[in-house]
Amino acid sequence: MEGTGKTTLAKLIYENHAVMDHFPHRAWVPSDSMDSLMRKIAWEEYLNMSSAKHDSNDFLDRSRKMLNAVLKSNKYPIVVDNVSTKVFWNQLGPAFEDLSNGTTIISLLAELG
């Protein structure tokens, strides 16, 4: 669905003054940057752990929980741009669970494969 104006429309909403007034914290994240963010959180968690068993699945889970805690602390409009795989949502979906504080997720999909 390239070229249909999804990003342009989302930017108009994201940069609208009423939206900016309602959401003091906002985030526009390209999907590849979101993956990098999760890896960075996981690495920092790894460095902070004791010499206990290091399991990469555990790091990802802890990273999701940390992101979820941040998102629960304030309401955010989050635009995740150019999501192209189901794997992205399978990995990050749990970070966006139970956000009843007004956080809004807008996902701009490339061709989902």
The whole-chain average pLDDT of the chain stands at: 75
Helix spans in the chain (H): 6-14, 17-22, 31-48, 56-73, 86-92
pLDDT of the residue at 15? 93
Residue 87 confidence (pLDDT) above 90: no
What's the Cα-to-Cα distance from 74 to each of 33, 90, 109, rounded to whole Å?
21, 24, 25
Residue 16 confidence (pLDDT) above 90: yes
Average pLDDT rounded to a whole number, residues 12-16:
92
Regarding predicted confidence, which is higher, 45 or 75?
75
Tokens of 109: 């999909």
User: What one-character DSSP code corresponds to residue 81?
Assistant: E
Average pLDDT rounded to a whole number, residues 79-85:
76
Q: How far apart are CA 103 and CA 78, in angstroms?
A: 8
pLDDT of the residue at 12? 94
Beta carbons within 10 angstroms of residue 89's beta carbon = 16
- Per-residue pLDDT tens over the stretch 33-71: 666 666 666 666 666 655 455 566 677 777 788 888 888
Residue 32 confidence (pLDDT) above 80: no
% of the chain residues with pLDDT over 90? 10
Every domain of the chain and the residues it spans: 6-109
Question: Tokens 């990050």 sit at which residue?
Answer: 92
